[in-house]
Copies of this chain bind each other. A is one copy, B any other.
Amino acid sequence: MTSFPFEIAAVDGSARTGVLKTARGEIRTPAFMPVGTAATVKALYTDQVRAAGADIILGNTYHLMLRPGAERVKTLGGLHRFMGWDGPILTDSGGFQVWSLSSLREMSEEGVAFKSHLDGSRHMLTPERSIEIQADLLGADISMQLDECTNFPCTRDEAASSMQLSVRWGARSKAAFGERSGQNLFAIVQGSVYEDLRRESAQALIAEGYDGYAIGGLAVGEGFETMCQVLDVTTPHLPSERPRYLMGVGKPIDLVESVARGVDMFDCVMPTRSGRHGQAWSDYGPFNLKNARFAEDTAPLNPDLDCPASRDYSRAYIHHLVRAGEYLAAMLLSWHNVAYYEDLMARMRIAITEGRFDAFRKDFNDRWASGAAPDGN
């Protein structure tokens, strides 16, 4: 396997910044990937996603295989062309959504059989089929191995056997992936909250050799402290020369603390989902524009951001749009939130480059703890 170049430009403590070079362009790390579940980053145009600073987006195997169908996406020229995004795309394997959305799951060594949450139709996802969908049909730049999402909480024995299944599925995913030019495959470290299982998972996957290593099984209700503890005992076992991707995380404070622990890539629905529920993110936490205190607040969401949604509309106007249930409320808040997340990543990259990430992290934690939003903006 010829891994894509990952050039680490600066290291500051455990935090690193660099560039992942893909056939469809460079990804500046630490990177946040907006989620385009159904071939659209919800309520955003792709040029807004790009201008907000995103180098790569995420697509969902589970959703796309059910609708419009992976073969249909292939017929229509692949996911990039279908949705009009010419930058890199990472696709998840479908495992997490089968676990969280579908009904009547039947797990076996072979894979997972499930019923669609859309129409009840029956489907089978195996490591081989997941790779076919991601790499062959959707045309992902980065594919993820199929893994089993371990329940949380779970016993050590449950975590061990689930993790070992994921390791075996990883090997099958890798065999199915084979040798590809310009496409990449990431493994997923599991093991729940058990330090030795996380280490065992990492070592087994590294022995196989992947282009990057994801940390799965977090952001499932374990809480901030536990997430940090798991990262503390996991990232040290991952090769420093390969990208590390923390799946499904998270709030801005989670991103800062994960970068401090050596994570390079993130994805999360939070900026767009929050945006559809009236929330705007800031260094001081989220604030809900539906709140009456914004009814005559003429300040923008955040004048420091180079994003029209953050800069050019008053909170009073957005408050009105939220109250009225207008599309534009979700459009503006999702856009602002993606721009805020991407700006936060950019600020971290600069802080690491300049060797002052510790100070940045401390300042950020102070702002976050103060909860002073939105006046603190």
Binding site for B on A (CB under 8 A): 38-40, 42-45, 63, 67-68, 72, 75-77, 82-84, 295-296, 298, 312-314, 316-317, 319-321, 323-324, 326-328, 330-331
Contact = CB atoms under 8 A, between A and B. Distances in A.
Contacts of A63: 324
A321 B40 CA distance: 8
A324 B67 contact: yes
Given A317-B82, A327-B43, A296 B67 contact: no
With a 10 A CB-CB cut-off, give which of A44, A323, A331 has the most chain B CB atoms. Answer: A331
A76 B316 contact: yes
Contacts of A331: 43, 45, 327, 331
Contact of A314 (B40, B76, B319, B321): B76
Given A40-B321, A331-B43, A312 B84 contact: yes
Given A63-B324, A67-B324, A327-B331, 6 more contacts: A43-B331, A45-B328, A68-B316, A72-B316, A76-B314, A327-B327
Contacts of A313: 84
A328 B83 CA distance: 11
A67 B320 contact: yes
Contact of A327 (B72, B76, B330): B330
A312 B331 CA distance: 20
With a 10 A CB-CB cut-off, give which of A76, A77, A314, A327 has the most chain B CB atoms. Answer: A327
Contacts of A327: 40, 42-43, 327, 330-331
A42 B330 CA distance: 12
A68 B330 contact: no
Contacts of A296: 72, 75-76
Tallying the copies of this chain within the complex gives 2
6 contacts: A38-B326, A39-B320, A40-B328, A63-B324, A72-B316, A82-B317
A314 to B, nearest CB: 7
Contact of A295 (B72, B295, B321): B72
A298 B76 contact: yes
With a 10 A CB-CB cut-off, give which of A84, A324, A326 has the most chain B CB atoms. Answer: A324
Contacts of A320: 38-39, 67-68, 82
A323 B314 CA distance: 33
Contacts of A83: 317
B317 A39 contact: yes
Contacts of A76: 296, 298, 314, 316-317
Nearest to A38: B324
Contacts of A44: 328
Nearest to A329: B40
A289 to B, nearest CB: 13
Nearest to A316: B76
Nearest to A297: B76
